[in-house]
Chain A
């Protein structure tokens, strides 16, 4: 019994009528079974209909591999309908990974050589869509013959098929290069377009071809000029622009030919200026041509005036109401900002305006471009804008914005106070998104600006009092309060309004930081050390501090515990040394290891070494700290050479130092971890350097001290 097969449209109706996924699957499975049966029976009459149905089902996502052979049969058939569907099936179902695809090579060859034009068109189309390298090699002669056919319909397709073949098999370039010169004389737009694409492909693949085609630059210029000035034909134009597709393609080829070549670039200059000024930019088509022109101008060796014109065009694009055009302009300006910095600077206000875009992609581009445009003369204004942006920008841009601001501030800061203010502002606004070395940078900056100590500590205290959740800010504030607590309590800073701060308040704040669940372990470490330092800076008795320190002696966090225990010991047994150990940090130079002034530390160190109550764990933690140093991630290290973002450099400096005094006493003060490393290892000499070296690097000439090992 022969069941008449469903027509394609009926099947589609049925599938769309299915209410649920399961129902749809059922319908499709039933139909596929019919189709399979029909293929098995080999019914030639309805085969194309069955394949069409199968292709529809394939688009919905269902398997259709059993139709591959049917494609072959349909292609081999003599009926045009069959061929049409067969070739479509081949393009959709066959690809070069299946061996079956080679089987259509013969059919294609027949169709190319003997078929009528529409059939040749189908074959060429299929070849250029899914033709593999083997197929291309086999069929290259056929395609070459078709390049010389009189009918433009087939020729244009043959040319683009040649482009595909060259992409798959670059050796075929030699086959398809000779006809190009003649093809350029064609008037048919399709052929011309194909030829230009072919030449572009050839030039991109081989420098020899590039040199060969440089001589057609005048001809291309002529074609484009004709197109622009006289080529208005309704057939090919889009909103008043003659054949923008062809124009864009020619411009692209000119770009490739003119790149790094003075002579060709010179030939094109006038034309490019003409296109740039005469193109109607009210519609997207004109803007597309203009955009391509700008790209070409920027890439070739164009005259300076032309480059400025190009940048100005991009500036105009920035003011366009069409978002797409603004996006394209921002992307291109970003590419140009290195090479034509001053020209792009002129459009800075517009770029800054774009920061306020609602479209996040546009504002991202605007951010990148704004950061690239910051220089010493506009830094204050730009920073204001960028900081305003930071407050309102979407979260995924925050990190980039914050780090961009910090970098720019570092490079162009007019005054230290401004720099500190800027970093402070960034930390308050986007503290969680800053990079790890921001803390270290800021502490160093503050440490170096002696006149601003009081100001900094005051501001940081205020910021901390308001909000203890931003970790980098808290860390810096804790460090500052520890270092300059006395200035805070003195309360007589001129730059901001006087604030009476009580000792108890300061201690309470630091304790709050210590106890807060929001504080990271590192932050707690900072706070504990700050409390300890305050024990020498404050006038009152230190009971509260001693209390806190002893409580943390049984803390679960090993690092905190170690610190607390050691500070406690400092209180109990080494009180006479406490003041000296917890003295203010000396100014740390960034550039190289500094000899330090505090020689006292070395003497104290000798006495301390016997009493260092450190279990083996500290050694591990010191090793870990050393690894941290190697990673350079934590800002904890503050000994010469300090704050070098490349820790490898730090280590080299260490190795360079002679193993003779002075000890890096500054180590003793900054961060607890480092502090204890040094204190524990402070042997008569050499300094804690040795410890690092012993632990991590074999260094001849440096004896290892068993004591330091135990630390």
Chain B
């Protein structure tokens, strides 16, 4: 295959990849890397806990999923959903570093990565990397399922979704994600219900707006 320019990547439909993947279900692997500890997440969480002013037995101050990033093979961000409060600068820094780390991984490595004090679960679908950050006690395998379910939803909605769809309709990608996950947790496990909700919301949008 001649991967000439990133335009080509964008056009390859993701659903073909989905079929292949749903058979085998393991593509990229991730390396746990023992990076530096003491990153803002813990600090932000601790600050939040401190602000709440209670002694917590075994607190989980932040959401199960801390953030989700979608980026292309060239490192361009296509979607970013943050479930923890961080400043713009911190978000940019994390994005930059994480993108670099994930893109440096070889194709045959496992999908899990230890980065700072978080676990990163990532998976590549055609030209897009879907990358989630979860906490130490979370189940990585189910996070892979979450990512896969999101891709399936996108695929169903856009019909053979490819990267270009997500670029040109980024706000729809956000809306779909918001119907599937809420506050970092799964809210609806039925594909049908999620898509129905999106449909209804789309209908509500006045038809003469095309933006």
Contacts and interface: CB of A to CB of B under 8 A. Distances in A.
A167 B110 contact: no
Contacts of A121: 179, 197
Contact of A96 (B85, B183, B200): B85
Contact of A328 (B58, B140, B185, B188): B140
B64 to A, nearest CB: 8
Contacts of B171: 52, 55, 84-85, 88
A238 B144 CA distance: 12
Contact of A324 (B22, B26, B190): B26
A84 B175 CA distance: 9
A513 B189 CA distance: 70
Interface string B68-96: 00000000111111110111000010000
B20 interface: no
A285 B26 contact: no
A362 B86 CA distance: 32
Contacts of A301: none
Contacts of A249: 186
Given A95-B85, A327-B29, A204 B58 contact: yes
A161 B139 contact: no
B54 A201 contact: no
A291 B190 CA distance: 22
Interface string B159-188: 000000001101100110011001101111
Contacts of A408: none
Bin the interface of chain A by size. 35 or more
Contacts of B42: none
Contacts of B174: 88
A245 B139 contact: no
A134 to B, nearest CB: 10
A659 interface: no
A205 interface: yes
B52 A133 contact: yes
A201 B60 contact: yes
Contacts of B139: 248, 252, 288, 291-292, 295
Residue with the greatest number of chain B CB neighbours at <10 A, chosen from A84, A193, A328 = A84
Nearest to A288: B141
A38 interface: no
Interface string B189-206: 111110001001100111
B30 to A, nearest CB: 7
A648 interface: no
A582 B144 CA distance: 68
A170 B92 CA distance: 30
A7 B197 contact: no
B196 to A, nearest CB: 9
Interface string A562-601: 0000000000000000000000000000000000000000
A477 to B, nearest CB: 34
Contact of A7 (B77, B179, B200, B211): B211
Contacts of B112: 324, 327-328, 361
A190 B110 CA distance: 31
A207 B193 CA distance: 36
Contact of A97 (B22, B87, B110, B200): B87
Interface in A316-375: 322-328, 358-362, 364-365
Contacts of A169: 52
A245 B186 contact: yes
A362 B114 CA distance: 12
Interface in B93-130: 108-114
A193 B189 contact: yes
B36 to A, nearest CB: 15
B110 A80 contact: no
B204 A358 contact: no
A204 B57 contact: yes
- Mostly, the B contact residues are mixed
B25 A322 contact: yes
A79 B22 CA distance: 40
A244 B211 contact: no
Interface stretch (A28-36, A56-64, A383-391): A56-64
Contacts of B142: 244-245, 248, 288, 292
A205 B59 contact: yes
A360 B57 CA distance: 36
Bin the interface of chain B by size. 35 or more
A126 B183 CA distance: 9
B57 A207 contact: yes
A164 interface: yes
Contacts of B153: none
B142 to A, nearest CB: 4
A235 B83 contact: no
A623 to B, nearest CB: 35
B51 interface: yes
Contact of B62 (A79, A156, A167): A167
A328 B87 CA distance: 33
A359 B109 contact: yes
B51 A133 contact: yes
Interface string A122-163: 001100111011000000000000000000010011001101
A167 B145 contact: no
Nearest to A209: B57
A252 B185 CA distance: 14
A49 interface: yes
A168 B85 CA distance: 11
A205 B83 contact: no
A236 B78 CA distance: 28
Interface in B22-43: 22, 25-26, 29-33
B56 interface: yes
Contacts of B204: 80, 118
Nearest to B54: A170
A48 interface: yes
Given A245-B145, A288-B142, A323 B110 contact: yes
B52 A164 contact: no
B65 to A, nearest CB: 11
Given A168-B48, A324-B144, A359 B185 contact: no
Contact of B108 (A52, A96, A359): A359
A81 B110 contact: no
B3 interface: no
Nearest 8 A-B pairs (CB), nearest first? A288-B141, A128-B183, A49-B211, A361-B31, A323-B110, A164-B183, A288-B142, A160-B182
Interface of A: 7-9, 12, 16, 48-49, 52, 55-56, 59-61, 79-81, 84-85, 88, 95-97, 118, 121, 124-125, 128-130, 132-133, 153, 156-157, 160-161, 163-164, 167-171, 189-190, 193-194, 197, 201, 204-207, 235-236, 238-239, 243-246, 248-249, 252, 283-285, 287-288, 291-292, 295, 322-328, 358-362, 364-365
12 contacts: A48-B209, A49-B211, A55-B171, A60-B76, A132-B85, A206-B57, A245-B142, A295-B139, A322-B25, A324-B144, A361-B32, A361-B112
Interface of B: 22, 25-26, 29-33, 48-49, 51-52, 54, 56-63, 76-83, 85-87, 92, 108-114, 139-142, 144-146, 148-149, 167-168, 170-171, 174-175, 178-179, 182-183, 185-193, 197, 200-201, 204-206, 209-211
